[in-house]
Amino acid sequence: MHSYDDILYETGEGIATITLNRPDRLNAWTAAMEKSVKQAIAAAVADDDVRVIILTGAGRGFCAGADMDLLQSIKVDESEGAWEDRELARATRGDGNDFKSGLGPDVSPHYDGRFGYLMQVRKPIIAAINGPAAGLGLVVALYADIRFAASDAKFTTAFASRGLIAEHGISWLLPHLVGPARSMDLLLSARKVMADEAAEMGLVNKVFEAAHFMENVRDYARHMASNVSPRSMAVMKAQVWKSYYQSFSEALATGDSEMQKSFASDDFKEGVAHFVEKRAANFSGH
């Protein structure tokens, strides 16, 4: 049983829920939180009973970005490259975890850095954005596969208003989600965006009323955990993230190859059987 700092971790109904847990600081990101999130993701990956991972925040916020004490501790006279070296060390220091899916195309060469492992995880990750998501908090949410927002959630890149720049791959992630023009708007202005606008521009998949937010997110996650093949989800997640580095012909060839592998899987047999027999699915993930 792991002991976690600055997060809560619970499982049930095929879902692992990771809750950023510094509600008095709007769940501002810390080094301890980062380490715990990575440990919790590893635990969820290793748990065969977990089919879906939800990442959310305690209290009224999702994540207000990097803790200001951390930002204030950065030395202005650090030599060129020192910041990058320190962050790379933080991302890659030996934790013994290998997040490569083993199903579908290998995406690990394309997604590295502090949070690239989230793309490598074979299980779908849902960011349940229950409140403000700013700066690093928004970056982390963009690494999720699916994003839902509470109706009172707010979003801001924040970097320009702190004298900083687009970090940790957001300059790549954001344009792929909302396009270059909207990305320029969000990055250069650092303005606040409410949930409805975030949905309209494609920053989040859907907005749920705040009063029933987690209930709706869990309903969606339960559907994934109960009714669809874990193997299929793993392969398709890898296909989508890989496709950004493929031509259409390459993506087509990957799909053809993976379809043949699917025909030989236990989950394919179960997918046909439960449909024909008109019963609930019982997928094994194999």
Domain extents in the chain: 7-225, 229-276
What is the distance between the alpha carbons of residues 83 and 177, in angstroms, rounded to a whole number? 28
Handedness of CA 112, 121, 187, 69 (dihedral sign): negative
Residue 81 — pLDDT band, cuts 50, 70, 90? low
pLDDT at 23: 97
Element (H, E) at 198: helix 195-201
Contacts of 142 (CB under 8 A, 6+ apart): 170, 173, 174, 177
Please identify which residue in the block is written with the tokens 């934790």: 95
Q: What is the mean pLDDT of residues 17-22?
A: 98
- Assess whether pLDDT exceeds 60 at residue 29: yes
Q: How far apart are CA 255 and CA 281, in angstroms?
A: 24
Residues 142-171 have a mean pLDDT of: 96
Average pLDDT across the chain, whole number: 92
pLDDT classification of 101: cutoffs 50, 70, 90: confident
Q: Copy the structure tokens of residue 10.
A: 């619970």
Residue 79 confidence (pLDDT) above 70? no
Q: What is the pLDDT of residues 181-215, one digit of tens each?
A: 999 999 999 999 999 999 999 999 999 999 999 99
How far is residue 29 from each of residues 35, 136, 140, 200, measured CA to CA in Å? 11, 8, 10, 27
Q: How far apart are CA 63 and CA 265, in angstroms?
A: 40
pLDDT above 70 for 71: no
CA proximity to 104, closest of 242, 285, 252, 266: 242
Residue 94 has pLDDT above 50, yes or no: no
Q: How confident is the model at residue 97 (pLDDT cuts 50, 70, 90)?
A: confident
**Averaged over 166-193, what is the pLDDT?**
97
Q: Is the pLDDT of residue 86 over 80?
A: no
When pLDDT is averaged across residues 40-67 and rounded to a whole number, the result is 96
What torsion do the CA atoms of 98, 99, 105, 107 make, to the nearest 10 degrees?
-100
Token readout for 55 is 């990442």
What CA–CA distance (Å, rounded) separates 161 from 164?
A: 7
Give the length of the chain: 286
Write out the E strands in the chain.
7-12, 15-20, 52-57, 125-129, 133-134, 146-150, 154-156, 193-194, 206-208
Would you state the CATH architecture of domain 7-225? Alpha-Beta Complex (3.90)
Number of H helices and E strands in the chain, helices first, is 12, 9
pLDDT tens for each residue of 230-265: 999 999 999 999 999 999 999 999 999 999 999 999
Cβ(233)–Cβ(196) below 8 Å: no
**Lookup: tokens for 67:** 């803790």
Higher pLDDT, 104 or 80: 104
* Cα–Cα distance measured from residue 242 to residue 254, given in angstroms and rounded to the nearest whole number: 10
* Residue 57 banded pLDDT, cuts 50, 70, 90: very high
